């Protein structure tokens, strides 16, 4: 009948290697075996449990009664091997005591530093008690054995070597599955990292400022006799903040700098104010290049208004006038009102009539205060 042990294994170490001891304890206690092997051997899913790991150095003197009891209650002894543990009297005492218990075959070595059987005290990783007791030839699981290109994979292989010895199973029975799980984790980690990087990149792009260029497109009838568009005031409204710029001509553009990227493809308000043109107030989707249609105001140069006076500054009714091909007659107070279509508009108009005026030109825009005086001579 197999004896019952409180601990699956006892970890013997030197204080310089405490980090390795803690890491090894977590690895062994958390290792999950395949359901097939567990069913075949009657194991729990985490069969290497519990592991005894003394939280601090052994105090001067021989092995305490407590440590002896812990060693007695442990099925296996795992020795963390390094030049530090090789020079440790207390690691030697724990190996010797476990050997005296008749469990020499259950002593396992986990090499974290140094070289086995180097003969050099500065690099030797096995405690001299191993040779003194005449323990069988020992190789040990070595985390630095250069089997693979990647050091982390060599460490994983050493862990599995130790586990296979602790459980008494073929190394390959565990290692192939362990590698598959590692690769699956690497793929999952990689995809996770790529997802995080993608998210961070998106957030970075969203928070990066961009420049927005705005151009104007005049959709009204092209008339070479009228002044070209110039100095249009453009206002871009983002939330409650209005940004302003000027477009000098139809061949130039306004640039709004450092616009937060998050506003792209979002609705924004934009307005355009320009002499001789109809005001634009619109809402559109913001992009890095915008073109806004603008239309010339036809009334500026199209609504011709003036009054005909006699030499006494009295309005003269029923005077026929002709501008271009458009004819009309002054009203009872001498006022003339005429509309010229956009395609024929000018900045100045010559007024023809059966009467003679002192000056027969109307400069646009015009209004009721513009006067043509009849020459009495």
pLDDT at 186: 85
Which of 1-10, 147-156, 361-370 reaches the highest mean pLDDT? 361-370
In this structure, how many other beta carbons lie within 10 angstroms of the beta carbon of residue 80?
A: 24
Least confident of 49-58, 293-302, 317-326: 49-58
pLDDT at residue 58, as a whole number: 47
Q: Which of 176, 196, 290 is nearest to 243 (CA)?
A: 290
Contact assessment for residue 214 and residue 284, using Cβ atoms and an 8 Å cutoff? no
Q: Report if residue 182 sits inside a domain.
A: no
Inform me whether the pLDDT recorded for 292 exceeds 50.
yes
> Is residue 112 assigned to a domain?
yes
Q: Is the pLDDT of residue 202 over 80?
A: no
pLDDT digits (tens, 9 = 90+) for 311-363: 999 999 999 999 999 999 999 999 999 999 999 999 999 999 999 999 999 99
Regarding whether 271 and 331 lie in a shared domain, the answer is no
Whether residues 290 and 303 fall in one domain: no
Q: In the predicted model, is pLDDT for residue 138 greater than 90?
A: no
Q: Tell me: the pLDDT tens digits for 141-182?
A: 999 988 888 898 899 999 999 999 999 888 888 888 888 888
For residue 60, pLDDT beyond 50: no
**188 occurs within a structural domain:** no
Same domain, 354 and 218: no
303 and 280 share a domain? no
| Residue reference for tokens 């007024």 | 351
Average pLDDT over residues 284-304: 94
> For the chain, how many structural domains are there in total?
3
Q: Is the pLDDT of residue 57 over 50?
A: no
Using the predicted structure, report yes or no on whether residue 43 has a pLDDT greater than 90: no
Domain with residue 308: its CATH number is 2.60.40.1120
- Residue 307 inside a domain? The answer is yes
Share of the chain above pLDDT 70, in %: 97
Tell me, what CATH number does 219's domain have?
Answer: 2.60.40.10
Residue-number span of the structural domain to which 87 is assigned: 7-169
Pairing of strands 267-273, 107-111: unpaired
Higher pLDDT: 63 or 275? It is: 275
- Where is the domain boundary, 136, 153, 169? 169
One domain, residues 124 and 270: no
- pLDDT tens profile 250-261: 999 999 998 888
Whether 19 and 152 map to the same domain: the answer is yes
Predicted confidence at residue 7, as pLDDT, reads 94
Is residue 263 domain-shared with residue 241, that is, in the same domain? yes
Let me know if residue 290 belongs to a domain.
Answer: yes
Better-scored residue on pLDDT, 350 or 116? 350
Q: What CATH number corresponds to the domain at position 17?
A: 3.40.50.10140
Mean of per-residue pLDDT scores for the chain:
90
Q: Tell me the average pLDDT across 72-91.
A: 94
Average pLDDT on 216-227 reads 88
pLDDT exceeds 70 at position 137: no
Residues 266 and 309 in one domain: no
**pLDDT at residue 56 in the model:** 53
Same domain, 225 and 165: no
* Domain end residue (candidates: 117, 138, 169): 169
pLDDT at 136: 75
3-state per-residue secondary structure call for the chain: CCCCCCEEEEEECCHHHHHHHHHHHHHHHCCCCCHHHHHHHCCCCCCCCCEEECCCCCCCCCCCHHHHHHHHCEEEEEEEECHHHHCCHHHHHHHHHHHHCCCHHHEEEEECCCECCCCCCCCECCCCHHHHCCCCCCCCEECCCCCCCCHHHHHHHHHHHHHHHHHCCCHHHHHHHHHHHHHHHHHHHHHHHHHHHHHHHHHHHHHCEEEEEEEEEECCCCCCCCCCCCCEEEEEEECCEEEEEEECCCCCCEEEEEEEHHHCCCEEEEEEECCCECCEEEEEECCCEEEEEECECHHHHHEEEEEEECCCCCECCCCEEEECCEEEECCCCCEEEEECCHHHCCCEEEEEECCCECCCEEECCCCCCCEEEECCC
156 & 28 share domain: yes
120 and 17 in a common domain: yes
Tell me if 79 sits within 8 A of 92, measured CB to CB: no
124 found inside a domain: yes
Residues 283 and 344 in one domain: no
For residue 185, tell me if it sits in a domain. Answer: no
Among 110, 142, 169, which residue terminates a domain? Answer: 169
Q: Quick check: is 177 in a domain?
A: no
């Amino acid at each position: 009948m197999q004896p019952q042990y409180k601990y699956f294994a006892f970890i013997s170490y030197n204080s310089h290697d405490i980090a390795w001891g803690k890491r090894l304890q977590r690895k062994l206690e958390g290792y999950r075996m395949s359901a097939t092997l567990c069913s075949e051997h009657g194991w729990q899913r985490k069969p290497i449990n519990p592991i005894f790991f003394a939280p601090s150095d052994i105090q001067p003197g021989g092995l305490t009664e407590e440590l002896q009891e812990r060693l007695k209650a442990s099925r296996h002894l795992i020795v963390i091997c390094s030049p530090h543990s090789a020079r440790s009297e207390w690691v030697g005492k724990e190996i010797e005591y476990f050997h005296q218990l008749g469990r020499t075959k259950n002593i396992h070595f986990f090499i974290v530093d140094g070289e086995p059987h180097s003969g050099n005290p500065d690099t030797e990783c096995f405690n001299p008690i191993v040779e003194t007791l005449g323990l069988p030839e020992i190789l040990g699981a070595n985390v630095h054995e250069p089997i693979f290109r990647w050091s982390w994979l060599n460490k994983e292989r050493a862990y599995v070597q130790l586990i296979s010895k602790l459980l008494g199973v073929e190394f390959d029975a565990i290692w192939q599955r362990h590698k598959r799980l590692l690769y699956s984790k690497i793929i999952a980690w990689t995809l996770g990292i790529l997802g995080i990087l993608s998210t961070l990149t998106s957030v970075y792009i969203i928070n990066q400022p961009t420049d927005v260029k705005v151009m104007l497109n005049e959709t009204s009838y092209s008339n070479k006799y009228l002044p070209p568009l110039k100095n249009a005031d453009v206002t871009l409204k983002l939330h409650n903040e209005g940004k302003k710029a000027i477009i000098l001509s139809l061949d130039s553009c306004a640039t709004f700098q450092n616009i937060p990227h998050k506003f792209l493809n979002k609705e924004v308000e934009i307005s355009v104010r320009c002499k001789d043109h109809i005001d634009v107030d619109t809402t559109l989707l913001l992009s890095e290049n915008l073109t806004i249609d603008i239309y010339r105001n036809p009334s500026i140069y199209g609504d011709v208004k003036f009054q005909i006076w006699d030499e006494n500054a009295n309005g003269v009714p029923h005077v026929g006038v002709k501008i271009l091909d458009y004819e009309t007659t002054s009203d009872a107070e001498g006022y003339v009102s005429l509309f010229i279509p956009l395609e024929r508009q000018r900045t100045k108009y010559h007024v023809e009539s059966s009467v003679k005026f002192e000056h027969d030109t109307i400069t646009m825009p015009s209004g009721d205060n513009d006067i043509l005086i009849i020459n009495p001579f």
